[in-house]
Amino acid sequence: MGVSPSESLITDPPLMLPQNRQDPIYLDAHATTPVDPRVLEVMVPFFTDQFGNSGSSTHSYGWAAQGAVEQAREELATGIGASAEEIIFTSGATEANNLAIKGVAEAYLEKGRHIVTVATEHAAVLNPCRYMESLSWRVTYLPVDSQGLVDVEQLAGAIASDTVLVSIMAANNEIGVLQPLEKIGRLCGDRQVLFHTDAAQAIGKVPLNVDMQNIDLMSITAHKFYGPKGIGALYVRRRPRVNLAPQLHGGGQERGWRSGTLCVPLIVGLAEAVTLGISLQKGENQRIRALRDRLWDHLKPENSGLTIYLNGHSAQRLAGNLNISIAGIKAAELLRQLRSHVALSSGSACSATAQKLSHVLKALGNPDRQPFANLRFGIGRFNTVDDIDTTARLILEAMRSPSAQK
């Protein structure tokens, strides 16, 4: 990461959310984001006046709902370079990941029983893969390098004659690392293996194009990029056709692949969040990256005098992600001191007796950092220069307090 720009070069967001001054500064955008007021505005009518069921085909309420769903499907498809028929609405990325992994596995039993994924995947991919292992499937969990990147040549070596699916996330939820989707997709296409990516953290933040990146299935969720919780989608390629076995059975909605009454307001919100995110993407990423670099500039060892390490690739990562390990600090005490002032996540799971690295940080192969405090910052659309400078000051003060030091 480069040197932080001067304050005069970083502008605050043109749209600010109303906030109680006593609320903590929110820097946990990888966990969730607030609904953008522009997204909420298009959703509200479908909670009130236009409340129809999109499956009701005999009256105007149902027609209006169905029209809104199909328009949203078209908008979402356009945002990722797909066609509307390739979008299946789900309750979020977890359901989409389960449908992709289990649905493909069941549909392609005759081809083989092997899946390839990566050790740093989200639990919503790792746990369905472990479930498939319980059904006698073979799963290869590829390692990553010390920067969090998968080796494409190693992936090529892992693909076997019975491999059905490769599942590799677009952007990591802890360290923000962006995997080389286009290279992975091209390899999978050449080897005639389906490629699924969990794009929950990437959608709306980095360019995604299912054809250019050779993606066969892609999972997304709205609440990571200023849309509502409880809604997501799975892109499923039609040409060449990808088959799925449904995991929910019922009324046959979503081409029979995902039954259940569609939540029209949330679907409309998802599509608006994608459209808005793509329209703002370039300028927003520049601003957020500048804030991220400013925070790192405050904290990095040559300026803070503390032993702090950056986790993940310094450049090939989400603009708003900063994940650090801090030596000689009690993570639980540091977070306790900060929680009334700053909302952020620890990269570790702490207990009363021990601190353990998350599976993502452990996969980076830095065992010497296990005793360190790990912090994940998710900088978002509505953060300001003052948020960053105040956070840096509070963190440095907390880390220098005797109670936080080991």
Mean pLDDT by 10 residues, the chain (406 residues): 53 74 90 97 95 87 92 97 97 98 97 98 98 98 98 98 98 97 98 98 97 98 98 97 93 84 96 97 96 96 87 97 90 85 71 61 80 89 96 91 78
Of residues 129, 188, 263, 350, which has the active-site annotation?
Answer: 350
What is the distance between the alpha carbons of residues 19 and 25, in angstroms, rounded to a whole number? Answer: 10
What is the distance between the alpha carbons of residues 194 and 106, in angstroms, rounded to a whole number? Answer: 13
What is the distance between the alpha carbons of residues 92 and 97, in angstroms, rounded to a whole number? Answer: 9
Q: Tell me the domains of the chain and their CATH numbers.
A: 7-36+281-404 (3.90.1150.10), 37-276 (3.40.640.10)
pLDDT of residue 276: 97
What is the distance between the alpha carbons of residues 280 and 283, in angstroms, rounded to a whole number? Answer: 6
pLDDT of residue 368: 66
186 Cβ partners below 8 Å, 6+ apart? 214
Chain centre distance of CA 314: 18
pLDDT of residue 142: 98
Query: Model-level pTM greater than 0.75?
Result: yes
What is the distance between the alpha carbons of residues 388 and 117, in angstroms, rounded to a whole number? Answer: 35
What is the distance between the alpha carbons of residues 315 and 32, in angstroms, rounded to a whole number? Answer: 23
Q: Find residue 310's DSSP bridge partners.
A: 324
What is the distance between the alpha carbons of residues 238 and 240, in angstroms, rounded to a whole number? Answer: 6
Interior/surface letters 141-175, b for 16+ CB within 10 angstroms, e for the rest: bbebeebbbbeeeebeebbeeebbbbbbbbbbbbb
CA distances (Å), origin 389, targets 177, 285, 375: 24, 19, 16
> In 10 A of CB 399, how many CB atoms?
22
Rg of the chain (C-alpha set): 22
Active-site residue flag, 350: yes
pLDDT of residue 253: 87
Cα atoms in the Cβ-side hemisphere of radius 13 Å centred on 298: 21
